[in-house]
Chain A
Amino acid sequence: MTTEIRVRRPTIPELLWGQIKYQNRIFWRTPIAAFFTLVFPLMLLILFTAIFGNEEIEELGVTTAQFFTPGLAVFAAVSATYTNLAIGTSISRDQGILKRIRGTPVPPWVYIAGRVGSAIYIAFLSIVLMMGVGMIFYGVELIPRTVLSALFTFFVGTGCFAALGMFVAAIAPNGDTTPAITNGTLLPVAFISDIFFPPVDPPTWMVVAGNVFPLKHFAVAFRDAFDPTLTGAQFHWPELGILSIWGVAAAVIALRFFKWEPKAGESGRGASVRRDEGRG
């Protein structure tokens, strides 16, 4: 009844490109993810500049928008990678989609790279959107000499948070608990990472706690690349180093514990036996 189509075996780059496109398509059809990644951080920018007025923050020597825009762009990029990858991947596992993928010729790493690639692409869009709005409406400056460091920081930072997102996906019991884990970590850390408040006389504990986590380093390195009061190329090697350590550690643990089969709200070997028994 039917004739097969013989086509060339897809190359690995073709497979990878296909996976990225397909993850992007899913993203745009998940309005809640698109809202929290692209629209919500913009709302914060509009809100903060409205509350504080777009005046110069005396202690920092830059305007409110010049301070908040890069930080909120980082926050958006972290939502696009850390939050979306963790939630999306654990939901896909619950639904059995990861198991299906394991039964196809797509190499596992290509699938994961497709998800991560798509997340970093969305993160890039969110940063461009945020910086664009900042520049057009709030007079935020872009400094040509630091564009390279901004881009490099972007890739190191989103790589780190993509790894952390996959780490959460690996350890989370199911997709219902993942949003609690990502929001319960990202929001408190954002408060001590100079994202929502300028660092004007912060308590010492807050500085120390903020330095432990990777978000502040991402924000500082990225923001300084847009700071007109600074000079030089603004490559923040210590910050980039800390981001790399977090990213590599998260990736190693994620690889160790990642599961392709639904965990069904339980974990460990006993669960898979019970499931087997139920299903024959």
Chain B
Amino acid sequence: MAVIEVSGLVKRYGDLTAVDGVDLSIEAGEVFALLGPNGAGKTTTVEILEGHRTRDEGHVAVLGFDPAGGGREYRERIGIVLQDGAVERELSVREALQIYGSVYPRRLPVDDLIEMVGLQSKADARIKTLSGGQQRRLELALGLVGDPDLVFLDEPTTGFDPSARRQAWQVLEGLTSLGKTILLTTHYMDEAQHLAGRIAVIDRGRIVAEGTPETLGGRDEAVTRIRFALPPDAKPESIPIRGTRMANGLIEIETASPTRTLHDLTSWAVAEGIELERLELTRPSLEDIYLELTRDD
């Protein structure tokens, strides 16, 4: 059974349609990333699923609940890691986890959580003495304290430096090994690729592509690009392949059958005694696909 089932979700703010007909289906145990640029509608979508916002149109079922009226029973089964969340700075890490944990019928042991997010040395320190990165890790622990079936992670590493992000990823990978269903939003392509098993790209309130990191946006079927330069004395007209073009001083060929094309090309070059300089064969990276999908027309 799908843990999250969304169809035709619409949210408007006055004249602005922040979410414009989003459909999602996320299965139990999946790590699903909602990827998109700022303002694409990620946070609005997730906040509707969390029950923080109401929707204008569409059907939403999360763990069998309508989040808009799920109340206590629904919130006992979800964990929310807020992007801008905070907790009373006067409490210690351990106290915060005990207090927030005490409201759930199921709990993860506080010491395990502290260890999992690597805050052992700060367990009894007041939260106001924590660094920004440590507070975000506490945030993560707070999202897990009720042993949720489903975890919402809203931009978990926004504003992190690269090493802090790597650290956070390690923690999140540990989380995925617990078998929880996770819905993650991010505007970092590499983060989605690294953590998620499935990605939906959202842009201007619509899902523009969905798939695994390997297949997203037709990446698995996308054409391969061959580029090279010819020595000055060689004649480009004599290349036995159609559709060559110049790009940044290199000759570029796009092909759906790279083995064949490359064979033709290199056979010709060997026969002519030409060295193909700076020869490279590339497939579009996920980054290329993403930029293409969310391009501002």
Contacts and interface: CB of A to CB of B under 8 A. Distances in A.
A6 B107 CA distance: 6
A1 interface: yes
A103 B39 contact: no
Nearest to A262: B84
B218 interface: no
Contact of A5 (B18, B51, B71, B106): B106
A1 B178 contact: yes
Contacts of B217: none
A99 interface: yes
Contact of B84 (A4, A96, A105, A277): A96
Given A3-B109, A276-B44, A10 B103 contact: yes
Contacts of A269: 13-14
B185 interface: yes
B228 interface: no
B37 A1 contact: no
Nearest to A264: B84
Contacts of A273: 13-14, 16, 18
B52 to A, nearest CB: 6
Interface stretch (A22-30, A116-124, A234-242, A244-252): A22-30
Contacts of A272: 13
Contacts of B193: none
A99 B13 contact: no
B39 A96 contact: no
A107 B74 CA distance: 11
B80 A103 contact: yes
Contacts of A106: 72, 103
Interface string B131-143: 0000000000010
B38 A279 contact: yes
A18 B103 contact: yes
B42 interface: yes
A97 B88 contact: yes
A40 to B, nearest CB: 20
B75 A103 contact: yes
For chain A, the bracket of interface size reads 35 or more
B223 interface: no
A99 B85 contact: yes
Interface in B54-109: 71-73, 75-76, 78, 80, 82-91, 95, 99-100, 102-109
A107 B76 CA distance: 11
B112 A280 contact: no
Given A26-B91, A96-B84, A103-B51, A280 B38 contact: yes
B41 interface: yes
Contacts of A4: 106-108, 147
Contacts of A104: 75, 100, 103-104, 146
Nearest to A103: B80
Contacts of B40: 280
- Most chain B C-beta atoms within 10 Å of own C-beta, residue among A261, A269, A273, A279: A279
B13 A280 contact: no
B285 to A, nearest CB: 22
Contacts, number: 127
- Most chain A C-beta atoms within 10 Å of own C-beta, residue among B14, B85, B102: B102
Contacts of B83: 279
Contacts of B18: 273, 276
Nearest to A100: B85
B227 interface: no
A4 B104 CA distance: 11
Interface in B170-188: 174, 177-178, 185, 187
Contact of B43 (A8, A96, A280): A280
A95 interface: yes
Given A97-B86, A100-B82, A5 B41 contact: no
Nearest to B74: A105
B36 interface: yes
A7 interface: yes
Nearest to A5: B107
Given A4-B106, A105-B103, A279-B39, 18 more contacts: A1-B112, A4-B108, A9-B76, A30-B90, A92-B88, A97-B86, A97-B88, A99-B52, A99-B85, A100-B80, A100-B85, A103-B78, A104-B103, A270-B14, A276-B13, A278-B39, A279-B155, A280-B155
21 contacts: A1-B112, A2-B178, A4-B106, A18-B99, A18-B103, A26-B91, A30-B90, A92-B88, A96-B82, A100-B85, A103-B78, A103-B80, A106-B103, A270-B14, A276-B13, A278-B39, A279-B39, A279-B155, A280-B38, A280-B39, A280-B187
Interface of A: 1-10, 15, 18, 22, 25-26, 29-30, 92, 95-97, 99-100, 102-107, 261-262, 269-270, 272-273, 276-280
